[in-house]
Amino acid sequence: MTMNVTELFGSKVFNDKVMKERLPKETYKALKKTIEDGAELELDVAKVVAHAMKDWAIEQGATHFTHWFQPMTGITAEKHDSFIQPEDGGKVIMSFSGKELVKGEPDASSFPSGGLRATFEARGYTAWDPTSYAFIKDDTLCIPTAFCSYSGEALDKKTPLLRSMQAIDKQARRVLKLFGNDDVKRVITTVGPEQEYFLIDTDMYNARPDLIYTGRTLFGAKPPKGQELDDHYFGTIKPRVSAFMKELDEELWKLGVLAKTKHNEVAPAQHELAPIFSTTNIATDHNQLTMEMMKVVASRHHMTCLLHEKPFEGVNGSGKHNNWSISTDTGLNLLEPGKTPSKNAQFLLFLTAVIKAVDEYQDLLRVSVASAGNDHRLGANEAPPAIISMFLGDELEDVVDSIIEGTDYTDKKKKLMSIGATVLPSISQDTTDRNRTSPFAFTGNKFEFRSLGSAASISGPNIVLNTIVAEELDIFATELEKAKDFDKALDKLVKRELTAHKRIIFNGNGYSDEWVKEAKKRGLLNLRSTVDALPSFVSDKSKDLFKKHGVFTDVELTSRYEIELEKYSKIIDIEAKTLVSIVKKDIIGAASEYETILADTINTKTACGLKISNAVEENRLESANKLTISMDKDLSRLEKDIKKAESIEDSLELARFHHDVIISDMESVRESVDSLEVMIPSNIWPYPTYGEILYSVK
C-alpha cells in the first residue's frame, strides 16, 4: 500500500484547515485574531470552538479529552476525561463545553513547584494555548495548555516561553520601526531542533536495572569496537531501525510534526531526527511529542529508545541542536543578511544584539542547558565545551572585524563610510557550518545553539535566548529612538558594541586546552557543572532581566532554581542507590563465584600434583580478589556518603555534595566493576556488556 503523505499529514490535528471548514465564519475570525494577534478569547467563541472540536475528535475515534501541559518535570502531563455526560434514562451524550476547553483544574500538588505552591495556592489550573493546535493521540483530544498556580505563577515550561516570545516581539518591532518597517505586526522566533537518540533491543534494556532506573549505564567496560572506525555516521540504516523510522515519521506526520531528516549518528545504535523549523512555541510542543513518539514507536518494534544525554561512557552522548532565528509575520528572516545595504544595516543590528546578548548572559545560556545528564557531555570533547562562545564563519567575522577597525571589509585600507551603505558578501552555509566544536554557531541565516541535552525540553534555552536578545534590542531601540541622525547613531552603536563584545567570538577548536586558557584570559565563564552554573539563575542581574521583560517573577525564578537543584540531587542519589544495589546483589556474587572456580581449580590441580601450572589461576585469583576488596571498600564509602547526604539541608550544599563526593565515589566503584567485567567469563557475568547492548539491534 502506498502512503499518501499529503493526506496523512496533520490528519490528527485540529489545524487551520479544519477550523476554516468547521467553524462559523465569525468564530473562525475571532479565533484567528487570538492566535495571530494574541487577542483575548471570549467564552462565547470558546463554546463554539469546543463544540466543533468535539465533533471532529469523535469522528476521529476520540472518546476522551485532556489538557496537555508541560510541568517542571521536563516531560508532558495529561489527565484524561471522557466526553460522556449522563442523560435521563441511564444514557449518556458526548459533551465538551467552552469552559472545559479553556480551563482545567488538575490536582497540582504532585508536580514540582520549588516551594511555589506553599507560598501561594495549593491548586493549579491549565489554560488553553490557542497558538498551538489541538491534536488526537491515543484516542484522546489533546489540548495544549499552560499550567499556572491560582495566583498566576507559572508552574510549567510553556508559560514563560510564551512570555519570552512576547518580549522579543515587542522589542524587535521597536527596532524594525526605526528602519521604516511599519507594516510588521508580529515578530516571531523560529526553532528547528535536531534530536539525537539511541535505540537498543528491549531484552537488553530489561536486563540492565541501571538503564531502567536511571536511563544510563552505571558500569560497563569499553567494547572492543566502538565508534573508532566512524562507520556508523550516515551509514546504511538497519532494517529494524528503518522500519521504526518509517513508522515514527508516519505517526509524527499525522500529528502535524514536520519530521524531515533521519540518519545514523556517530555512535553505534545512535540516530538523529530533524524537523523543519516552526515557531518556537510549536517547535517546543512538537519536540516533546517527538520524544514521546520515539519511545512509543520503539516499543512496538521491541526496541527501547534512550534519550539520556550519556547512556554509555566512552561512547558519544546525545544532544539537541537548537536552530534559532527571528522572523516577521511578513515573511522576513531578520538573521538573513539582505541583498540591499539598508537590509544589511538592519541585519547587522540584530546580529550585534545577539552577539552582545550571548556575551553578557553566557551564564544564563549555560544554566539553560545544565542538567545531571548533560554534565557528562559538555566539556567532554564530544559536545561543545562548557565555555559559551560564538562562531560566525570567515565572511561574517571579516565584516565584524572591518566594522571594529573602521575599514571596508573588501578593502582594508578604505574607510568604511557607514553601515547603512554596506553591501555584505553573500554568506554561504558551507563556510559557516564548518566549526562543529562551537556551542553557538551562525549558520547562514540562523544561529545553532548546540549545547542542549537530548532529554530536556527545549523550552528553557529558548526562554533565555528570546529574553536576552529582547533585552539588547530594548537597549538599542531606546538609544536609537533618541538619535537625531539615525545612520550616524547606528554606526556608532554597532561599532561600539561589536568592539565591546568581540571576545565572545571564537572560530578555533573549542575542544583544545589552549581555548580553555584563552577563554580565561578573555574573561569568559567556564561553568563546568550544573552545580557551578545554577546559582547564576538567581543572581540579581538575572532577576532584573526576567522581571523587566515579564518572563519570570523573582518567586518563579527562585522556585525553578530550587526545582533544578533538587532534581539534580535526586538524580545522583537514585544513580548511587542503583549502583549500590547492583553491586551488592549481583556483582559481588559473580566475583565470588569466579574466585571460587579459580580456587577450586587450584586445589584440584594441586591435588593432582600439578602445582607448577597454578600460576595462571593464582594470578587471576589474586587480581580478582584485589579488585573485589577495593570494590567493597569503595562501596562502603559510597553507602556511608549516601547516608551523610541525608543530613544536608541546604539544597545548594546538597547538590554540591552529590557532585563532589557521591559522583566520585561512584566512579571509584565503577572502576573495579569494569575491571572485573573484563576478567569474569560471560556465563558468570550477570549483565549484558556494552558490546552486546550497542550491537543488539541487527
**Cβ contact 470:188 at 8 Å:** no
CA-CA distance, 534 to 85, in Å (whole number)? 48
Of 116-175, which residues contact ligand ADP (CB under 6 A)?
A: none
Judged by CB under 6 A, the residue of 274, 351, 519, 545 near ligand ADP is 274
Nearest approach, Cβ of residue 431 and ligand ADP (Å): 13
Q: Which residue lies nearer to ligand ADP by CB, 325 or 542? A: 325
CA-CA distance, 40 to 37, in Å (whole number)? 9
Nearest approach, Cβ of residue 301 and ligand ADP (Å): 25
Q: Which residue lies nearer to ligand ADP by CB, 325 or 578? A: 325
Q: Which residue lies nearer to ligand ADP by CB, 446 or 658? A: 446
Nearest approach, Cβ of residue 443 and ligand ADP (Å): 5
Judged by CB under 6 A, the residue of 140, 443, 466, 559 near ligand ADP is 443
The answer to whether 323 contacts ligand ADP (rule: CB under 6 A) is yes
CA-CA distance, 369 to 367, in Å (whole number)? 5
Per-residue binding string, ligand ADP, 276-315, x by CB under 6 A, is: xx--------------------------------------
The answer to whether 192 contacts ligand ADP (rule: CB under 6 A) is yes
Q: Which residue lies nearer to ligand ADP by CB, 142 or 357? A: 357
State the number of binding residues for ligand ADP (CB under 6 A): 15
Judged by CB under 6 A, the residue of 13, 176, 191, 221 near ligand ADP is 191
* Only segment of 30-38, 118-126, 190-198, 403-411 that touches ligand ADP (CB under 6 A): 190-198
- Beta strands at 124-128 and 140-149: parallel, antiparallel or unpaired: antiparallel
Chain centroid to CA 678:
35
**Cβ contact 249:259 at 8 Å:** yes
CA-CA-CA-CA dihedral for 495, 499, 503, 505, to nearest 10: 20
- Tell me the residue number closest to ligand ADP, measured at CB: 192
Nearest approach, Cβ of residue 335 and ligand ADP (Å): 7
CA-CA distance, 213 to 225, in Å (whole number)? 26
* Only segment of 102-110, 114-122, 134-142, 443-451 that touches ligand ADP (CB under 6 A): 443-451
Q: Which residue lies nearer to ligand ADP by CB, 191 or 661? A: 191
Between 394-405 and 486-501, two packed helices, what is the crossing angle to 10 degrees? 110
Count of other CB atoms within 10 angstroms of residue 581: 13
Judged by CB under 6 A, the residue of 149, 214, 264, 325 near ligand ADP is 325
Of 503-542, which residues contact ligand ADP (CB under 6 A)?
A: none
Closest CA relative to residue 155, chosen from 103, 107, 108: 108
Read off the DSSP letter of residue 449: E
Q: Which residue lies nearer to ligand ADP by CB, 120 or 447? A: 447
CA-CA distance, 108 to 579, in Å (whole number)? 32
Nearest approach, Cβ of residue 505 and ligand ADP (Å): 20
**Cβ contact 450:340 at 8 Å:** no
Judged by CB under 6 A, the residue of 190, 290, 542, 672 near ligand ADP is 190
CA-CA distance, 632 to 588, in Å (whole number)? 8
* Only segment of 82-90, 273-281, 295-303, 624-632 that touches ligand ADP (CB under 6 A): 273-281
CA-CA distance, 34 to 28, in Å (whole number)? 10
The answer to whether 347 contacts ligand ADP (rule: CB under 6 A) is no
Of 576-595, which residues contact ligand ADP (CB under 6 A)?
A: none
Residue with cell 545504535: 269
Nearest approach, Cβ of residue 320 and ligand ADP (Å): 11
Nearest approach, Cβ of residue 354 and ligand ADP (Å): 13
Nearest approach, Cβ of residue 177 and ligand ADP (Å): 22
CA-CA distance, 506 to 517, in Å (whole number)? 13
The full length of the chain comes to 698
* Only segment of 80-88, 442-450, 548-556, 614-622 that touches ligand ADP (CB under 6 A): 442-450
Q: 127: helix, coil or strand? A: strand
Q: Which residue lies nearer to ligand ADP by CB, 274 or 392? A: 274
Q: Which residue lies nearer to ligand ADP by CB, 190 or 389? A: 190
Count of other CB atoms within 10 angstroms of residue 2: 4
* Only segment of 230-238, 244-252, 275-283, 501-509 that touches ligand ADP (CB under 6 A): 275-283
* Only segment of 217-225, 271-279, 357-365, 392-400 that touches ligand ADP (CB under 6 A): 271-279
- Which residues, in sequence order, are bridge partners of residue 305? 199
* Only segment of 184-192, 465-473, 602-610, 689-697 that touches ligand ADP (CB under 6 A): 184-192
- Amino acid identity, position 516: V
CA-CA distance, 439 to 76, in Å (whole number)? 27
Q: Which residue lies nearer to ligand ADP by CB, 148 or 357? A: 357
Q: Which residue lies nearer to ligand ADP by CB, 189 or 402? A: 189
Residue with cell 476554516: 20
**Cβ contact 326:342 at 8 Å:** no
Q: Which residue lies nearer to ligand ADP by CB, 260 or 295? A: 260
Nearest approach, Cβ of residue 274 and ligand ADP (Å): 5
Q: Which residue lies nearer to ligand ADP by CB, 71 or 192? A: 192
- Amino acid identity, position 412: K
Q: Which residue lies nearer to ligand ADP by CB, 259 or 345? A: 259
Q: Which residue lies nearer to ligand ADP by CB, 140 or 278? A: 278
Calculate the alpha carbon distances from 234 to 250, 269, 446 in Å.
21, 12, 24
Judged by CB under 6 A, the residue of 137, 163, 254, 446 near ligand ADP is 446
**Cβ contact 567:534 at 8 Å:** no
Closest CA relative to residue 345, chosen from 468, 442, 489: 489
Cα torsion angle, 447, 450, 452, 453, sign: positive
CA-CA distance, 687 to 513, in Å (whole number)? 37
Nearest approach, Cβ of residue 265 and ligand ADP (Å): 12
Q: 191: helix, coil or strand? A: strand
Nearest approach, Cβ of residue 259 and ligand ADP (Å): 10
Q: Which residue lies nearer to ligand ADP by CB, 237 or 516? A: 237
Q: Which residue lies nearer to ligand ADP by CB, 217 or 290? A: 290
CA-CA distance, 306 to 192, in Å (whole number)? 21
**Cβ contact 78:66 at 8 Å:** yes
Let me know if 414 is exposed, middle or buried by CB neighbors in 10 A (0-12, 13-18, 19+): exposed
Contacting residues toward ligand ADP, per CB under 6 A: 190-192, 194, 274-277, 323-325, 333, 443, 445-446
